[in-house]
Amino acid sequence: MTSKTAKARSGRSSSSGVADRGAWFLVLPALIPILILSVGPLLYGTALAFTDAQSGRTTPTQWIGLLNFQDLLHDTLFWDSFRIGLLWAVGVSVPQFLLALGLALLLNQNLRFRWLARALAIIPWAMPEVVVGIMWRLVYHPDAGILNETVRDLGLGDGRDWLTGLATALPAVILVGIWAGMPQTTVALLAGLQNTPHELHEAAALDGAGAWRRFRTVTWPAIKPVALAITALNFIWNFNSFALVYVLTSGGPGGRTRLPMLFAYEQAFRYGQFGYAAAMGCVMVAVISVMLAFYLVGRLKGAEDQ
């Protein structure tokens, strides 16, 4: 889609043809892989959703129209998994934002040991997701885990098997999700805070505004764009997340933590239902886009009204 529009534009642009050809030469090495391995697969994947493609089948793949989507509509397992995915994405993104905001506000203060917090915040960010999952399995381990040991020390009972309990599995993995994504959110919010005009803070303080009022009237408006963007991104990333939960519970117990990505992965690569799994992907994109559009439009309107 880009080549035609860019050429049409170059005809009108003031830059000379030579410079423009130079620009193409610079862009092509990245553009070709992007088209073949990113844009192409996305379109191809969308098309697959309307076929009966299966892995390892000898008969040719056929167009089946909306049949996959009709099947999906009645697939209660998929909708269960979708509901869990939403619970997980909201359950991770919201506390993550609040905790990260708190930490960013602290790091923006002139406190000692700030460097230590910054250094420690690297750990969740740099770690492979698989290792994060393994690490928390050690924390949650029913016998050798530190969590149960602490519970026993505090005299709160014998502890439990957090990751295999029907009631505790989802909250337990959500906590891991919050931990793993906190650094990025904190760093983004901290950068927003450091762009807040300091004079406004002082003026508000002189006028006798308390800490909460200063936050509401000075800090929040300044960091709101960053906050909106990072929450929206977190929500998408979390909804599409895979490795953490794959390692922690593989979707168990009884599908209580089976995120949509895990479900689609099983359909595609365990049962070979490529077309059906692609249809799931399409539904995920569609629902998430609509939700995000509502969220962003609602927030932007709210900003205008104020």
Partner 1 sequence: MTIRTSRPARAGQYLALLCYLVFLAFPFLWLVSTAFKPPRELGSLHPTWIPQNPTLDNFRQASDEQPLLEAALNSLLAALSAALIAVVIATPMAYVMARHRNKLSAAATGWVVISQAFPFVLVIIPLFLILKNFHLINSLVGLIMVYVVWSLPFALWMLVGYVRAVPPELEEAAAVDGASRLRTLVSVTAPLLAPGIVATALFAFITAWNEFFFALVLLKTPSLQTLPVVLTHFLGAEGVADLGPLAAAAFLATLPSLVVFAVIQKRITGGMMAGAVKA
Binding to partner 1 (CB under 8 A): which residues in 239-258? Answer: 239-240, 242-243, 246-247, 252
Of 166 and 305, nearer to partner 1 (C-beta) is: 166
Nearest approach, Cβ of residue 211 and partner 1 (Å): 8
Contact 103, 168 (CB under 8 A): no
Residue 264 found at the interface with partner 1 (CB under 8 A): yes
- Please state the three-class secondary structure of 97-140 as a single string: HHHHHHHHHHHCCCCCCHHHHHHHHHHHHHCCHHHHHHHHHHHH
- Bridge partner list, 51: 63
Q: Which of 86, 200, 222, 236 binds partner 1 (CB under 8 A)?
A: 236
For partner 1, which residue of 67, 86, 149, 296 counts as binding (CB under 8 A)? 149
Site for partner 1 in 68-87 (CB under 8 A): none
Q: Using the rule CB under 8 A, is 271 a contact of partner 1?
A: no
Q: How far is CA 278 from CA 98, 164, 210, 245, 246, in A?
A: 34, 30, 53, 21, 20
Restricting to residues 107-126, which ones interact with partner 1 according to CB under 8 A?
109-111, 113-114, 116-126
Torsions phi, psi for 180 (to 5 deg):
-70, -30
Please, what is the angle between helix 274-305 and helix 220-239, to 10°? 170
Which helix (H) or strand (E) segment is 67 a member of?
helix 67-73
Residue 215 interacts with partner 1 (CB under 8 A): yes or no: no
Q: Is 239 left (phi over 0), alpha (psi -120 to 50) or beta?
A: alpha
Site string for partner 1, 169-188 (x = CB under 8 A): ----------x--x----xx
Rank residues 154 and 305 by Cβ distance to partner 1 and give the closer one.
154
CB of 52 to partner 1, least distance (A): 13
Stretch 22-51 residues interacting with partner 1 (CB under 8 A): 22-23, 25-27, 29-31, 33-34, 36-42, 44-46, 48
Does 14 interact with partner 1 (rule: CB under 8 A)?
A: no
User: Residue 257 and residue 84: Cα distance in Å, rounded?
Assistant: 7
Residue (73 or 203) nearer to partner 1, CB:
203
